[in-house]
Structures are given as structure tokens and as C-alpha cells.
Amino acid sequence: MAMRTAEETDRVIEMAWEDRTPFEAIEQQFGLCEAEVIKVMRRELKPTSFRRWRKRVNSGVSQKHLKKRNPEIERFRCSRQRSISGNKIAKR
């Protein structure tokens, strides 16, 4: 695993923390396999944060692998999510 800039490391952590970003996407973008992502997370996070992340990834809540996903769904969108034009915050 090559040394990464702080920005790249932050982005890897951000992508790994997101439940909907699969390990395959991290590998494609940064060249880090799942084991290397785990090493980065273990090194960069506090021990309690790392344990919480690992528990969530292993619990089945997370869809961190493409093979666990429904192939018919291309992108997750909550039924309660508003379109951008209906966003009240944007109208302030």
C-alpha cells in the first residue's frame, strides 16, 4: 500500500464509512483492497470508532459488497427524499 495524501486518506475513510459505497468502488478509485481499507481505518480511527465501523460492516446492515446488492437497483433513493426543486433549504 503506497503512502497517500491526507486528502486521499480522508476520502477513503469517508467512502468506507458510507454504507452504500462498496469496497469495489474504493478499490477501483484508490487501488486498495478490502483488507487494505481495514488497515487504513484501523490506523486512522479511534479504537472505539473502528470497532463500531467493523461491527456495522459485518452486521449485514451495510451493503459494502456489490454481490450483496440487488442487481436491479442502480442507485438508492429514499421514497421520502424530495427532489431538488422541492427542497426548502434551497429556497431560503
CB 35 within 8 A of CB 27: no
Environment class of residue 13 by beta-carbon count within 10 Å: exposed (0-12), middle (13-18) or buried (19+)? middle
C-alpha cell at 48: 472505539
pLDDT over 70, % of the chain: 61
Q: Is the pLDDT of residue 45 over 90?
A: yes
pLDDT digits (tens, 9 = 90+) for 48-91: 999 999 998 887 655 666 665 555 555 555 555 555 555 555 44
Euclidean distance between CA atoms 89 and 92, whole angstroms: 6
pLDDT at 83: 54
Whole-model pTM: value is: 0.64
Distance CA 7, CA 56 (A): 24
Name the least confident of 8-12, 20-24, 51-55, 86-90: 86-90
